[in-house]
Structure 1
Amino acid sequence: MRRRRVELGGLAGRHLRAAVAAKAEGVPEAKARVAGVPSGTSLLGLVTHLTAVERHWLLGHDVADWPATFRPEGTAAAIIAAYRETNTEADGEIATWDDLTEPGPRPSKHAPSRRWTLAHLIEETARHAGHADILRELIDGTTGR
């Protein structure tokens, strides 16, 4: 039987991840950290949060304080590099999955299925990619992919 490669949404997932990182690249460090909305969300905060999301849902890391995942620490380059490294590590984990009905690696007694986990991550990444689009436009008017 031929083994099918499982990825985070295939081309769509790769595109969404790349879009999030691209929106944060090339922005002056101070502006990438500025909250663009009253909730306090910044471009680098979104990248930091999505890094924590993938680590939690795909690599089994525990997150003690979800709101804290929106507070970026480190340089913009380091934050974006950590996101890309996490994407690569997560894709390696996903590539080992043969059965999407099995529980995902989320640390829990009742972990949702791998299929649910992938769908959730595509949804989460897409939602925050949209937020990143808006924040980038507010910073310097850049729109598009």
Structure 2
Amino acid sequence: MPTAPRRSDTPPPRTANSEADVLRGFLDYLRTSIAAKVEGAPEPQARTSAVASGTTLLGLLGHLTAVESAMFTGEQVTDWQATLRPAPQDSVADVAARYRAAVDRANEVLDACADLGAPLPRAGRSGSAPSVRWALTHMIEETGRHAGHADILRELIDGSTGR
């Protein structure tokens, strides 16, 4: 395994004191962390699993793209397992660009939500929508969990560590 330079860790954000600013600040911090972990990963290792579960860097970012889109813009996902498998033609740049676009769309929705207790606007979805607060908290948990997976996978690929 080649040795990559160790990146310095970026400390958690110091945000304003409002609940919305803290939640959005931590989510954006984790979004940036996982995107940075995947961007620059060498091909084809970014799509190759080094663990028994079959998890890959591109799969993790593809999955988070789907979760962002489902949670904040109401897109339907019919096969969550499929979101963990990148298409053969997907490059690191392609998957990272789709993730950043999904985050941008999610942030547009969040920018329009002033009340954390209000349900998320979810056009085209039936059933009750989660509150903005719940969705932000869930996305912090989901993104943080997969960012930890990405840390391990990236270190196994090329020794790269840090946020």
**Equivalent position of 2:133 in the other structure:** 115
Q: Give the alignment partner of residue 146 of structure 2, picking from 112, 128, 142.
A: 128
Counterpart position of 1:56: 70
Q: Is 1:140 aligned to residue 154 of structure 2?
A: no
Inter-partner Cα distance in structure 1 for 2:150 and 2:121: 27
Alignment partner of 1:41 out of 52, 55, 59: 55
Whole-Å Cα distance in 2 between the matches of residues 101 and 47 of structure 1?
28
Equivalent residue for 1:84?
100
- Bigger Rg, structure 1 or 2: 2
- Which residue among 65, 84, 95 is the counterpart of 1:70? 84
After superposition, the Cα gap between the structure-2 partners of 1:33 and 1:134, relative to the gap in structure 1 and judged at 3 Å, is same
Cα-Cα RMSD:
1.8
Q: Secondary structure at the match of 2:143?
A: helix
Does the 8 Å CA contact 2:40/2:92 hold for their aligned counterparts? Answer: no
Q: What amino acid maps onto 1:103 in structure 2?
A: P
- Counterpart CA distance in 2 for 1:132 and 1:8 is 23
More helix by share: 1
- Residue equivalent to 1:100: 116
Instruction: Please say if residues 37 and 154 of structure 2, whose CA atoms lie closer than 8 Å, have aligned partners that are also in contact.
Output: yes
Aligned mates of 2:38, 2:44 — CA distance in 1: 12
Structure 2 portions without partners, runs of 5+: 1-17
Q: In structure 2, what is the Cα distance between the partners aligned to 1:30 and 1:65?
A: 24
Corresponding residue of 2:26: 12
TM-score normalised per structure 2: 0.81
What TM-score comes out, normalization by structure 1 length? 0.90
> Which structure has more RCO (C-alpha within 8 Å, separation ≥ 6)?
2
Question: Percent identity between the aligned chains?
Answer: 51
